[in-house]
A and B are shown apart, each in its own frame.
Chain A
Amino acid sequence: MSTVAASGGLTLRGLVKRYGAVQAVAGIDLEIRRGEFLTLLGPSGSGKTTLLMMIAGFQDATEGDILLDGQPITGTPAEKRNFGMVFQGYALFPHMTVADNIGYSLSVRGRPKAEIAGRVAEMLELVQLTGKERRLPSELSGGQQQRVALARALAFSPPVLLLDEPLGALDRKLRVEVQEQLKDLHRRVGTTFIYVTHDQDEALSMSDRVVIMRDGRIEQVGSPEELYTRPRTEFAASFLGKSNFLQRDGRRWSIRPERIDLVAQGLGRVSGRVLSLNYFGPVLKYQIETAEHGPLEVDVDAWRGGPALQPGAQVGLDWKDDAAVPLDE
């Protein structure tokens, strides 16, 4: 298997996509580093899929430029870009066997049969599907189809791999498993991964960096930890994880539910009354009404937090100085 690819750095410059009066992508500037796992995260309609389709070459940019390792590729057609892609629903060729699907990119490039067969075997091993080469896609499970799609997209050693919600069709338990496999695969092939999802857990667990998108613009870019601990906007704070919002000193602050400690009544920064509690296994989630900030959500470690408080109980709420993060206006 090839080591870190020699190329795969992308630059997006002032990218705009308009459909009539609608701006699907409203000016994106982004530097994507070679070999990184970058996730475009956003709700539907945020422009993340349109942006991916523009990078793939299936949508023309209304304005702006896309550069691969400094070379403009904005006008290059999709078939000349050499980017791998895993489609939503996989888009495996239904009339071809697994081996023909995986070998397709090499076969259309006119590579010799022996070379294709060798590469197909290598890719099957990479995604642990050896022995399934003669099957049709319809004879495979969803998880297996997803791996064939990955192998097919990586078979020609593309510098960039685009993934459009590749786990959307899998059930929850399998999704966690495949996240691990994807991360491991990314480490091994060294290709730049650009991953589109609306699932915050996927974004947090796999990415080197996450781009939070909203209304065709970038809301915030950063490592998962940066975004989680230092969200800059209310949208970023509530889309990635849960957050309470406070009004203090003339600005808005975000504070994560698990950063608030419950202390004895009269102690702490504010006092409140328990509205409700929900048991979630490892955590207890409280709704606590406070005079200063309205209802706040508080997560308490179920094992270390002491006996559960019942609705109506009076408590104090405390947090460290760095728990409250100031937000941009």
Chain B
Amino acid sequence: MTPARLNRIIAWSLLVFLVAPALIAIPVSLTSQNYLSLPWDGLSLQYYREVFTSPDWMSSFFQSSLIGLTSAALATVMGTLAAVGLWRMSSRWGEVLRGFLLLPLVIPPIIAAMAFYRLYVPLRLIDTYTGLILAHAVLAAPLVLITVGASLAGFDRRLEQASRNLGASASQTLWRVILPSIRPGVISGAVFAFIASWDEIVVTLFLSKFSVYTLPRRMWNGIRENTDPAVAAAAVVLLGVTFAAFLIWALLQRRARRARTPT
């Protein structure tokens, strides 16, 4: 066996190992039985019908979308501004500050969840959209900081100098020169921030009770309380949206790379 062939086999095995557990939801969601099982006895779309017609599932779907989009927007603004600010500082303190700002990525979600809980009880933010959106935005902002920071590392500082030299204020420079140049990083960050909120469960479990009920939260409850295959159908929808977000990201990256290549 040639090394190249061996490489390919290992790569594919790894991929299957990583992705297969997630994809198992697809056959399970098609089962015709009324408990979680592989569809040996026939295929059925009944659980998709159930998910898409159930007011509970649909409500969770819209709640997750709302929280995901809003917290992603918030995280993108915060992360981008932080990244640009740190890029401007370019000193040792900037690096210290960057490390500090990346902490939400390092802290275990369960610790973050408890911290948010302690903070939110006196603020009366438990079980509110505002609370969950803020928490998800805080958790996702470092992702944006990383992607935008990477874009800025490749940004020619002389473009900023040129803009200032031509009389543009700091905010004009940001909007008209810096942001258009780092747009791929901003969009990547926004997509990652949305995905992070979209499938977040640990913090959500702590911060929501009755009125906020996201898609992962409902799946969690569905699996604990019964073995309704509708959970598998919902999981496929969840995966599908994540995959779509990722696909958009990949396409935009490719277009950005093409635009950078001189004709």
Residues of A within 8 A of B (CB): 56-58, 77-85, 87-89, 91-95, 104-105, 108-109, 138-139, 152-153, 156
Which of chain B's residues 243-263 have a Cβ closer than 8 Å to chain A?
262-263
Which of chain B's residues 221-263 have a Cβ closer than 8 Å to chain A?
262-263
CA–CA, A79 to B162, complex, Å? 9
Taking a contact as CB atoms under 8 Å apart, the answer to whether B159 and A152 are in contact is no
Measured CB to CB, the closest approach of chain A to B154, in angstroms, equals 12
21 residue pairs bridging A and B, Cβ less than 8 Å apart? A57-B165, A58-B164, A78-B161, A79-B165, A79-B166, A84-B165, A84-B166, A85-B161, A87-B158, A87-B162, A88-B158, A89-B156, A89-B158, A95-B181, A104-B168, A108-B172, A138-B263, A152-B162, A153-B165, A156-B166, A156-B167
Closest Cβ neighbor of A108 among chain B residues: B168
Given A87-B158, A91-B159, A108-B172, does the pair A139, B167 have CB atoms closer than 8 Å? no
B180 contacts the other chain (CB 8 A): yes
Measured CB to CB, the closest approach of chain A to B85, in angstroms, equals 17
Name the one of A57, A105, A139 contacting B166, with C-beta atoms under 8 angstroms: A105
CA–CA, A138 to B263, complex, Å? 7
Name the one of B166, B180, B262 contacting A138, with C-beta atoms under 8 angstroms: B262
Which of A79, A84, A92 has the largest number of chain B CB atoms within 10 A?
A: A79
B102 contacts the other chain (CB 8 A): no
Which A residues are CB-close (under 8 A) to B172? 108
Which A residues are CB-close (under 8 A) to B161? 56, 58, 78, 85, 87, 91
Taking a contact as CB atoms under 8 Å apart, the answer to whether B164 and A78 are in contact is yes
CA–CA, A137 to B86, complex, Å? 29
Measured CB to CB, the closest approach of chain B to A176, in angstroms, equals 26
Which A residues are CB-close (under 8 A) to B262? 138-139
Given A87-B158, A93-B159, A104-B163, does the pair A79, B177 have CB atoms closer than 8 Å? no
Which A residues are CB-close (under 8 A) to B211? none
Which B residues are CB-close (under 8 A) to A81? 165
B90 contacts the other chain (CB 8 A): no
Which A residues are CB-close (under 8 A) to B165? 56-58, 78-79, 81, 83-85, 153
Taking a contact as CB atoms under 8 Å apart, the answer to whether B263 and A139 are in contact is yes
Interface size class of B (residues with CB under 8 A): 10 to 19
Name the one of B158, B167, B177 contacting A109, with C-beta atoms under 8 angstroms: B167
Measured CB to CB, the closest approach of chain A to B177, in angstroms, equals 6
Taking a contact as CB atoms under 8 Å apart, the answer to whether B181 and A77 are in contact is no
CA–CA, A95 to B161, complex, Å? 16
B176 contacts the other chain (CB 8 A): yes
B54 contacts the other chain (CB 8 A): no
Mask, B140-164, CB within 8 Å of A = 1, is 0000000000000000101101111
Which B residues are CB-close (under 8 A) to A58? 161, 164-165
Which A residues are CB-close (under 8 A) to B263? 138-139
Given contacts A77-B164, A92-B162, A104-B176, 17 further A-B contacts (CB under 8 A): A57-B165, A79-B164, A85-B165, A87-B162, A89-B158, A91-B156, A91-B158, A93-B163, A94-B181, A104-B163, A105-B166, A108-B167, A108-B169, A139-B263, A152-B166, A156-B166, A156-B167
Going nearest first, the 6 A-B pairs with the smallest beta carbon separation are A91-B158, A105-B166, A108-B168, A91-B162, A79-B164, A138-B262
CA–CA, A139 to B263, complex, Å? 7
CA–CA, A84 to B165, complex, Å? 7
Closest Cβ neighbor of A103 among chain B residues: B166
Closest Cβ neighbor of B170 among chain A residues: A79
Which of chain B's residues 169-202 have a Cβ closer than 8 Å to chain A?
169, 172, 176-177, 180-181
Taking a contact as CB atoms under 8 Å apart, the answer to whether B181 and A82 are in contact is no
Mask, B107-134, CB within 8 Å of A = 1, is 0000000000000000000000000000
CA–CA, A156 to B165, complex, Å? 11
CA–CA, A153 to B164, complex, Å? 12
Closest Cβ neighbor of B158 among chain A residues: A91
Taking a contact as CB atoms under 8 Å apart, the answer to whether A79 and B168 are in contact is yes
Which of B162, B164, B169, B263 has the largest number of chain A CB atoms within 10 A?
A: B162
Measured CB to CB, the closest approach of chain B to A135, in angstroms, equals 11
CA–CA, A89 to B167, complex, Å? 20
Measured CB to CB, the closest approach of chain B to A316, in angstroms, equals 56
CA–CA, A195 to B173, complex, Å? 26
Measured CB to CB, the closest approach of chain A to B256, in angstroms, equals 11
CA–CA, A80 to B165, complex, Å? 8
CA–CA, A58 to B88, complex, Å? 13
Closest Cβ neighbor of A164 among chain B residues: B158
Taking a contact as CB atoms under 8 Å apart, the answer to whether B177 and A93 are in contact is yes
Closest Cβ neighbor of B159 among chain A residues: A91
Name the one of B158, B169, B180 contacting A79, with C-beta atoms under 8 angstroms: B169
CA–CA, A87 to B160, complex, Å? 11
Which B residues are CB-close (under 8 A) to A105? 166-167
Measured CB to CB, the closest approach of chain A to B258, in angstroms, equals 12
CA–CA, A58 to B173, complex, Å? 15
